[in-house]
Structure formats: C-alpha cells, structure tokens
Structure 1
Amino acid sequence: MEIKAHLGLDISKNKIDCCLLINNEAINFIIDNNSNGFNNLLTQFAKYKIGLNTIHVCSEATNVYYLPVSKFLFENGALVSVVNPSIIKSYAQFKLKRVKTDKQDAKLIAEFCAKENPEKWQPESVEQVKLKSLHRRIEQLLEMQIMEKNRLSVADSVALHSINQMIDFLSKQIELCRQEMQDLINKSEQLMRKQKILQSIVGIGKTTAQILLSVMIDLDKFPTYRHLVSWLGLSPIIRDSGNKKGLSTISKMGNRPIRKALYMPARAACTRSKLWRSWFEAHLARGKHPKQVYVLMMVKLVKYAYTCLKNNTYFDVKRHQDVGAEEMGV
C-alpha cells in the first residue's frame, strides 16, 4: 500500500506531541501517552481520512515511553519506525534548526520520516522484553546500593543501622531479580542452550550471559556482528582533517547498559585468562592504554558471542589460541 502520510511523534512520559504531514501540510495536535490518547490518535486519522496501512509513523527511542504507542500502532497495521535520538539531533543540525520545542521536534521527526524513510520497527519478543526489564531493574537497584554504601563513610552512628539494613535489602532484591532472569531462561530450552553457548566464551559468566541474551535473543535484525557492535556503540569514530589527526574513540551511540555489563568481563579476560593474557600484554607493549585494550576485548566478546549463537556452536578455545598467536605475530 502506498504511503500517503507521515506522522512524527515527540514522546514524553505523560503526553505525545504529534505532527501529521499530508501533502507537505503539517497538522499538529497533542494526545495523552495512554490508551485513551492512542484511541484519539485513531480518531485523528479517521478525521483526515488516513488509513493506518497508508501512514508511516516515526519516533525517537526515548527511554521506555515510546514502547506503548509504537506497539499499539504496529498491532493496528501502521508502518512504524523508531530511531536513535542522535539521528534526529544530527538531522536538526543539518537543517540549521534554531528553535527546539516539543511541537517543532514532532514536525522535524515527521519531515525526517518523509525524507529518509527509516527502516521498519518490530516489537521485541515477550521474553526479550522481560529480560530487558529485569536487567533495567537490577541496574536501578545497583545504583541505589552504591548510593547507600557511599553514605556509610559519612553517616552519623545513629543512621548506620538503617543504612546497613537498606544495603542488605537491596542486595536481596538484586539477587531476586537475577533469579527471575534465570527462571525465565530456564523455561525455554532454546534460551538455556544460548546461555550455555555464551558461558563457553572465555570471560563471559552466568550474569553477563543473562544480560547479553536480552539483546541477542533474536539476532535476525543484525546481518553481521559488525552491525551488533555498532548498535552497542562500540564502533570507532575517527576524526582526521588535513594535518590534524584526531583521537579515535568509540561512538557510545548505542546500548549503554550492555557496554557497561561487558566492561568487567573484558577486563577479566585480559588480565586473568590464560587465553588472552599474552594478547593483552602484547598490546600494552605496543603502547596501547589498558582501557583501549579492554574495549578491543569487548568487541571480541561481542563478535564471538554473535558468531557462536549464529552457528549454534560452543566457543573453541584451541582454535582461538591459534588466532591469538597470529594476531600477536607469533
């Protein structure tokens, strides 16, 4: 079906600013970010005689607020796209936009949708949603636990008992969430095998495998491991111009919680594993900073995780001993 209209959504917790583009005419309105608001959206489509199968909807991936309306529209037959907020920010700079309001942002997203035709979005599986939600909750609990631990050193003696109780409570809640993640995985033979495959990779343990499964439960949206590396924000950014040689950094445009979860396993693989210790030391001898090598190892772990899951095979330590030796020039 031919696309006749484009809808840009600027989504916040309680409301959604909408801009409907029909034949280059912008129609702005606001709806609530709840089921009543979504039904009002259908009323607006009917008002302008726009069928759901003839409209392309686009929004930014803002926290979790975009999920309900995106899923609602997808289930009702609309073509839905969800893009990285950095893309819209760059598009605004390209258009030399000087005004930033919710109304203007919705219009900008609609124009981007009409011009660039972003790829189709599909809802994640139920298991993936649950795993990501539990991981998100664990991250929140860990942050609260760190805050409480930081208070211990400066707290008055009368408050110490309360702080220690809160730390113990948070520790129990973290373990409960991790157990819920594992119980969810144990309900599926396929997920259990995927977790075992991930744990066969040097540096990846049970907890990291749980977290990676929240992303890698469905690899079909990543044609190659490089797409996954880029999606996680681990791909390099190189800025060279003329005689000026800029520093290369990772993009950090992707999934921060997964990058965070990969850092310590990568560090452990570099400093403690027999397989990668000599590889790590060889990079240090060439002048690399340890953190640079840790990032290289994070990319390696993602590559191995992708390849092993894609081929449904366990990590072969012997094979990668030979590869490690070749990379060091042995």
Structure 2
Amino acid sequence: MEHRRIVGIDVSKDRLDVHVLPSQEAFAVSRDATGLVELCRRLGDTVDLVAVEATGGYETLVAATLSDHGMPVVIVNPAQVRAFAQALGQRAKTDPIDASVIARFAEATRPQIRLLPDGAARLLSDLMARRRQIVEMIASERQRLYRTEPPRVRKSIERLLKALERELGTIDHDIDGAVRGSPLWRETEDLLASVPGIGSIIARTLLAELPELGRLDHKKIAALAGLAPYTRQSGLWKGKARIGGGRAVVRTALFIGAQVAKRWNPPLKTFYERLIAAGKTKMVATIAVARKLLVILNAILRDRTPWQNA
C-alpha cells in the first residue's frame, strides 16, 4: 500500500519546485498550464496535504488548480516557514531547499486546510481587491489636489480623478452584477446587511474574503479575522492582550463596521458605552465591538435568520 504523502511547493514567477515526503522525491515544473497538468499527473490522488507558500499572488492559480483536482491544499505564511527553517538551522536558500522546508513545515504543523473558493468566488475577491486599489488611488490623488497650486498640474489631477471615478463605477457595477446575479450570494448579502453597521461594501468583502463565515464556531471565526486576543506572558510578567494575524482586509472591514455600529446599532452601542464606563480605551472598546459584530454575523449566517433588534 502506498504511503500518503505531504507535498511542499515553492512558487516563483516561472517555475514550481516540488518536494514530496516521505519519499524525498523532488522535481520542478513550469508555472503555466502545461506545468500544472504535469504537476497534477505526477502527484496523483494519494496526497495527504499540499502546502504552497504565499508568494505575492503567484500561488493563487497553483492552489486553485490543485484544489479543483481534489487535492487538500493549504497556503502557508512565508514568515512562519522562514522561522521554521531558522529553528532547523537551515541557512542555505535555494528554490529546491525551500520546497523541502515547506514540506517539512507542513508535516510538523499540519496547518488547517481552508476550502479554496471556486472560480466565481475568486472573481469576486479579485474585483473587491481592485476596488480597494482604485479607492486608495482616488484618496491619494485628492490629497495631491489639496496640496497642489499650479493650475496645469491641478487639471491633470482632476482628469485622472474623473477617470478613476468612472472606473470605480464600472467595478461597482461588475461586483453588483456578480453578487445580485447569484441567488445564494444575494440572500447572504441581504442577511449580512440586515445588521446595523454593515453596508453592501462590508458585506461583499466578507463574502469574498471570509467564506467560512457561518460555518465555524465564534472562536475560530474570530481567529481567522485576526480579532481573537492573544495573551503575552512569561513567568511573573504578564503583558496586555493583543490582536493580530488573520485576514487584514476582513479585520479592517469589521473595524469600519464597528465604528458605525457603536453609534447606530442599539445593543452594540450599549455594549460599547458599558466598556467605556468600565475604563476601557476607545480603541479597545471598538475592537471588542468589532469582535462581537463578527460573532453576530457568524450566527446570522449559521441560522440563516436576519438581524432582530432585541
């Protein structure tokens, strides 16, 4: 009987270096359609886990292709892999060595497998990412306009702003068509947006970037969003709890939602005011509101029941 295998893949712009445990098989394929077909053929159907290191987006197509072929895929954090390599005393760095370290990291830590989105969900995620980029460019150009005096330069900035605003309208139209064109996404967006503090942009960010919402318990979903506090303690010293990690885009969206909810969502407003009265800082109280808001949204999608103002 063939052993189940763990695979580490180091991704670069044009090439995939692969290392397989426990056989120590190592090979490389091109990062294109031909190479991905060859990769799936060589790995076959006896793979226990495939770990792909996040590499600036180059890993997305690789992970999606392997997942579509039924392989259990996880995208691993490169900082954690580097720390693991240092702990092993691994100083040499080449692509084949990196693939070996990734495989050993996956074997040692057994990271949780996250279901990868299908093609429609990936498109929505890409559209939402593009929207964020355009919004950031508009904000930057508006700041330049505010600081600029020469009329010819101001006109250049104004022309670019108009073009960016037109493109933002086009992207919003595409996103709206994708979400409202899907009965499931439309229902899910309506459920999320039923909560005071959650508008369509936040709802669609959660649709695209947190597909696990409604499927996990409140502790796990808070950890995925980077809103689960972790303690810092050594001996008699105990530091303040912090939040971090998780999906920064989701955390930012929920923080914005919390800013609205603490003013206009009655139960969360009461919760926020109680924390302030207890001596918590505004930042700590707002983060707590964001975490509670996430728990509420998770329960709403779990039960498929819209918000009810208790």
TM-score between both structures, scaled by the size of structure 2: 0.88
Residue 108 in structure 1 maps to residue 106 in structure 2: no
Whole-Å separation in 2 of the counterparts to 1:38 and 1:91: 27
1:147 to 140, 145, 162: 140
Whole-Å separation in 2 of the counterparts to 1:194 and 1:162: 42
- The equivalent residue for 2:30 is 32
> Residue 218 of structure 1: CA displacement?
5.2
| Cα deviation digits, residues 236-256 of structure 1 (max 9, x gap) | 1210112322121102x2211
| Cα deviation digits, residues 302-321 of structure 1 (max 9, x gap) | 11111001101011112xxx
Inter-CA distance 223–271: structure 2 relative to 1 (3 Å threshold):
closer
> Residue 108 of structure 1: CA displacement?
0.5
Query: Is the 8 Å Cα contact of residues 182 and 210 (structure 1) preserved in structure 2?
Result: no
Query: Is the 8 Å Cα contact of residues 40 and 66 (structure 2) preserved in structure 1?
Result: no
Q: Secondary structure at the match of 1:31?
A: strand
Inter-CA distance 71–189: structure 2 relative to 1 (3 Å threshold):
closer
Query: Is the 8 Å Cα contact of residues 8 and 58 (structure 1) preserved in structure 2?
Result: yes
Whole-Å separation in 2 of the counterparts to 1:212 and 1:72: 23
Query: Is the 8 Å Cα contact of residues 202 and 269 (structure 1) preserved in structure 2?
Result: yes
Counterpart of 2:88, as a letter, is: K
Counterpart of 1:9, as a letter, is: I
1:289 to 274, 281, 286: 281
> 133-142 or 238-247, which moves further after superposition?
238-247
> Residue 137 of structure 1: CA displacement?
0.5
- The equivalent residue for 2:252 is 260
> Residue 109 of structure 1: CA displacement?
0.6
1:166 to 160, 165, 169: 160
| Cα deviation digits, residues 26-70 of structure 1 (max 9, x gap) | 53x443321122244357x3xxxxx51123421123443222222
TM-score between both structures, scaled by the size of structure 1: 0.83
Whole-Å separation in 2 of the counterparts to 1:291 and 1:158: 42
Counterpart of 1:18, as a letter, is: V
2:272 to 276, 280, 299: 280
| Cα deviation digits, residues 213-271 of structure 1 (max 9, x gap) | 22455547x431221111111111210112322121102x2211111122222112113
Counterpart of 1:168, as a letter, is: K
Inter-CA distance 303–20: structure 2 relative to 1 (3 Å threshold):
same
- The equivalent residue for 2:202 is 208
> Residue 120 of structure 1: CA displacement?
4.1
Whole-Å separation in 2 of the counterparts to 1:218 and 1:240: 31
Count of residue correspondences:
308
1:233 to 226, 232, 255: 226
Residue 18 in structure 1 maps to residue 18 in structure 2: yes
Whole-Å separation in 2 of the counterparts to 1:86 and 1:196: 37
Q: Secondary structure at the match of 1:10?
A: strand
What residue ranges of structure 2 are gaps of 5+ in the alignment?
Answer: none
Inter-CA distance 161–72: structure 2 relative to 1 (3 Å threshold):
same
Q: Secondary structure at the match of 1:196?
A: helix
Inter-CA distance 131–30: structure 2 relative to 1 (3 Å threshold):
same
Whole-Å separation in 1 of the counterparts to 2:113 and 2:282: 39
Query: Is the 8 Å Cα contact of residues 9 and 19 (structure 1) preserved in structure 2?
Result: yes
Cα RMSD of the aligned pairs, angstroms, is 2.5
Whole-Å separation in 1 of the counterparts to 2:40 and 2:268: 56
Whole-Å separation in 2 of the counterparts to 1:307 and 1:291: 25
Q: Secondary structure at the match of 2:216?
A: coil
Whole-Å separation in 1 of the counterparts to 2:133 and 2:15: 24
- The equivalent residue for 1:327 is none
Counterpart of 2:218, as a letter, is: Y
2:292 to 289, 295, 300: 300
- The equivalent residue for 1:67 is 60
Query: Is the 8 Å Cα contact of residues 15 and 31 (structure 1) preserved in structure 2?
Result: yes
> Residue 4 of structure 1: CA displacement?
4.7
Inter-CA distance 147–100: structure 2 relative to 1 (3 Å threshold):
farther
Whole-Å separation in 1 of the counterparts to 2:35 and 2:212: 31
- The equivalent residue for 2:306 is 314
Moved beyond 4 Å, runs of 4+:
216-220
Q: Secondary structure at the match of 1:209?
A: helix
Instruction: Please list, as runs of the form range in 1=range in 2, the aligned pairs for 1:71-82 lying within 5 A after superposition.
Output: 71-82=64-75
Inter-CA distance 202–235: structure 2 relative to 1 (3 Å threshold):
same
Inter-CA distance 250–69: structure 2 relative to 1 (3 Å threshold):
same
Instruction: Please list, as runs of the form range in 1=range in 2, the aligned pairs for 1:48-197 lying within 5 A after superposition.
Output: 52-55=44-47, 56-155=49-148, 156-197=150-191
